[in-house]
Amino acid sequence: MTQNGVAARPLALVTGASAGIGWAFAHRLAAQGYDLSVVGRRAERLAELAAELPGAQVRPVVADLGTDAGIAAVADLCASEPLALLVNNAGVAHYMPLTQLPADKAAELLHVKVIAPTMLSRAVVPGMVSRGTGTIINVAGMLGFGAAAPPQGRVTYVATLAHLIALSQAMHQELSPQGLQVQVLCPGVVATEFHTRQGFDLSAIPRMSADDVVTASLKGLALGEVICAPGVEDAELLKTVEQAELAAFHGQSPELAQRYRN
């Protein structure tokens, strides 16, 4: 794409850009030649981020993706801007047992990690398809594979990550023939303010840096990975999980399984 005969910089939109993984994505993408729309709830942090990236055109977008209005506003941008890359990174933890998680916090979590990524992806895809290119990164986490892992007390949060994994896999199947690339990024515990803002002190636990997570994601795109797990050394484990899921899916029949018969 050119503007007045000059090659235009590709445009990326990053949610949850005011800290952590989103902040690291913004810095890395700007260094790689992207202009940015950076989305977050804290205007002052977005302004600080923009000031740190003088080589890029940075549009701060203050929006709360925990609300319908915030999602709609950002979805409008996704639909109207020629985005080359969408990074659905925004998140809230709300680690609580299902019966103790207040309804408003549950709704916020579902908006941020389920409704927002789904609706922003829905909004951006038509333009990407028409251009024959585009990339979507959905930031989930390894807990999306760990629903049965202890400890207890994070039911809704774990379920939202599993949604992002399934969403991304299905989007890959649907959209890769049309030139789009989809990745779900699944780090473990990352050294950001994500947990401290929820009142958790994880300083004693080994954690990966946000920069390393972004490095893995971008390298994973180059490798063609749909599931990028920065801390999993044996990538065959991820293939094994996917193959087991497909085996179970294809192992069904219209006949009642023998174990359910008298």
Catalytic residues: 157
How many angstroms from the chain centroid is the CA of residue 171? 13
When computed from its CA atoms, the radius of gyration of the chain, rounded to whole angstroms, is 19
Quick check: 7 and 34 in contact, CB under 8 A?
no
Query: What are the backbone dihedrals phi and psi of residue 132, each rounded to the nearest 5 degrees, phi first?
Result: 75, 15
Give 109-150 as a DSSP string. Answer: HHIIIIIHHHHHHHHHHHHHHHHT-EEEEEE--GGGG-TTSS
Q: Which of 155, 153, 152, 75 is nearest to 118 (CA)?
A: 75
Tell me the C-alpha to C-alpha distance, in Å, between residue 121 and each of 64, 127, 164: 17, 11, 11
Location of structure tokens 């005011």: 18
Quick check: 37 and 59 in contact, CB under 8 A? yes
- Phi, psi for residue 255 in degrees, rounded to 5: -90, 145
Environment class of residue 80 by beta-carbon count within 10 Å: exposed (0-12), middle (13-18) or buried (19+)? exposed
